[in-house]
């Protein structure tokens, strides 16, 4: 039987503790970590310009990054008339003269004899320089021009395309980033987890959480020990209101001992709360406290109060008292003590109710008269 006390309604815990997880910026972080470093890219450029024969030999021996690409890789070399111009551009970059790089790149790209390679090379360098100047809009523009010129070898071409998607994502141009990464995946046939996770992150940023969750779920199945993928899958499903799917992923991880941080346990027990699995939620909280993963504090107090309120509504008075008793000392104010006092008074424990009401007044409540009324009865 559901219970409502006439004139003694409980104060609801603010926010009801049922907030959703926020997706981590996995897309940007993984995108940056999965592309060659700037030093590696500069070395490749020098090799292409004939300035480092050892680097050229090493480049030839390295396996292709995109062996399944549908694009036929062009013979990416500078013509004899432009080599010195490109070498000068490279030297400006080595000196970290970013403004000089951009000016020189524009000059090279505008040369009548500049072909696809020279234009792609120049715009790629300009994009890197603009990024170093933190001019992300200009960086995106130059990377787009480098890709459009279509003159670089496949590895450089698709690394530039991927960099473009990363910059677009960072600029919150999510539609543009999605279009770029979709083209990248379609042409490279890449099935690397970080690439697919990047696409899922973009979809989540567009509010397409069902699609993002499906990608993350598939990646988790193939990479069961990757906690970052797991938590992003959970976040996507929770934001799509698919708590059952999120809970299944978290339950499996919990049983395997993967959830070792407070935010991870909270994701599980809040998922249980959203599914109205109150007993399971309490078990996770109590277990987390016992293991020292969860710490006492206002946030945990609010979560305990949600459990207490639902125990009270379900006519589980003893459990409600137990949970309010846990919540009250760690709460930021006296509202939990006031609710505890109300439940205790209803249960006939007047002395305990008055003690809780006094503590409520001591910590501060929005309606102190309610506590004073309990003390006066």
What is the rounded average pLDDT of the residues 100-112?
96
Q: What is the pLDDT of residue 275?
A: 84
pLDDT in tens, 224-246: 999 999 999 999 998 998 989 99
Complete DSSP assignment for 246-295: HHHHHHHHHHTT---SHHHHHHHHHHHHHTT-HHHHHHHHHHHHHTTSS-
Q: Which residue has the higher pLDDT, 350 or 56?
A: 350
Fold classified for 35-190: 1.25.40
pLDDT at 27 exceeding the cut of 80:
no
The position carrying tokens 């809780």 is 356
**Residue 92 neighbours by CB under 8 Å, 6+ apart:** 100, 101, 104
Question: Which of 79, 123, 71 lies closest to 101 in space, CA to CA?
Answer: 123
Local structure of residue 66 (DSSP, 8 states): -
For residue 368, what pLDDT is reported?
95
Q: How much is the pTM? A: 0.77
pLDDT at 36 over 60: no
Burial degree of 210 (CB within 10 A; 0-12, 13-18, 19+): middle
Alpha-carbon span 289 to 293, nearest angstrom: 6
pLDDT at 35 > cutoff 80: no
Instruction: Give pLDDT tens digits for 86-96.
Output: 999 999 999 99
Tell me what pLDDT residue 154 has: 95
| Residue 213 and residue 245 in contact, taking contact as beta carbons nearer than 8 Å | yes
The phi and psi torsions of 278 (rounded to 5 degrees) equal -65, -40
Check residue 377 and give its pLDDT: 87
Domain spans of the chain? 35-190
* CA–CA separation, 374 and 377 (whole Å): 5
* Confidence at residue 89, expressed as pLDDT on a 0 to 100 scale: 94
Tell me: pLDDT of 183 over 80.
yes
Which pLDDT score, from 0 to 100, does residue 78 have? 78
pLDDT one-digit tens code per residue, 69-86: 999 999 867 777 889 999
What is d(CA 296, CA 193) in angstroms, rounded to the nearest whole number? 37
For residues 147-167, give the mean pLDDT. 96
**Token digits of residue 31:** 């995108």
């Amino acid at each position: 039987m559901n219970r409502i006390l006439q004139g003694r309604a409980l104060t609801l815990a603010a926010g009801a503790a049922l907030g959703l997880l926020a997706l981590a910026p996995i897309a940007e972080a993984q995108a940056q970590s999965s592309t060659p470093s700037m030093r590696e890219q500069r070395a490749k450029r020098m090799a292409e310009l004939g300035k480092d024969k050892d680097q050229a030999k090493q480049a030839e021996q390295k396996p292709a990054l995109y062996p399944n690409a549908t694009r036929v890789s062009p013979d990416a070399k500078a013509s004899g008339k432009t080599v010195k111009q490109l070498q000068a551009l490279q030297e400006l970059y080595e000196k970290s003269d970013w403004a000089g790089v951009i000016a020189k790149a524009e000059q090279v790209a505008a040369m009548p004899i500049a072909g696809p390679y020279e234009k792609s090379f120049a715009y790629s360098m300009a994009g890197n320089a603009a990024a170093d100047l933190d001019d992300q809009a200009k960086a995106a523009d130059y990377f787009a021009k480098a890709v459009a010129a279509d003159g670089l070898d496949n590895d450089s071409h698709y690394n530039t395309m991927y960099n473009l998607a990363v910059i677009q994502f960072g600029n919150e141009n999510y539609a543009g980033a999605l279009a770029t990464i979709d083209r990248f995946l379609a042409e490279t046939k890449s099935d690397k987890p970080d690439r697919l996770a990047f696409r899922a992150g973009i979809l989540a940023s567009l509010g397409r959480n069902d699609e993002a969750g499906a990608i993350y779920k598939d990646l988790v199945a193939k990479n069961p020990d990757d906690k970052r993928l797991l938590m992003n899958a959970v976040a996507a499903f929770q934001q799509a209101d698919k708590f059952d799917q999120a809970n299944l992923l978290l339950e499996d991880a919990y049983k395997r001992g993967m959830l070792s941080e407070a935010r991870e346990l909270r994701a599980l027990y809040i998922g249980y709360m959203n599914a109205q699995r109150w007993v399971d939620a309490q078990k996770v909280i109590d277990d987390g406290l016992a293991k020292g993963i969860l710490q006492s504090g206002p946030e945990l107090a609010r979560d305990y109060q949600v459990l207490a309120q639902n125990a009270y509504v379900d006519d589980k008075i003893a459990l409600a008292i137990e949970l309010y008793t846990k919540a009250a000392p760690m709460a930021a104010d006296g509202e939990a003590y006031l609710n505890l006092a109300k439940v205790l008074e209803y249960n006939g424990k007047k002395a305990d109710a008055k003690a809780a009401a006094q503590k409520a007044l001591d910590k501060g409540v929005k309606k102190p008269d309610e506590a004073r009324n309990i003390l006066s009865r």
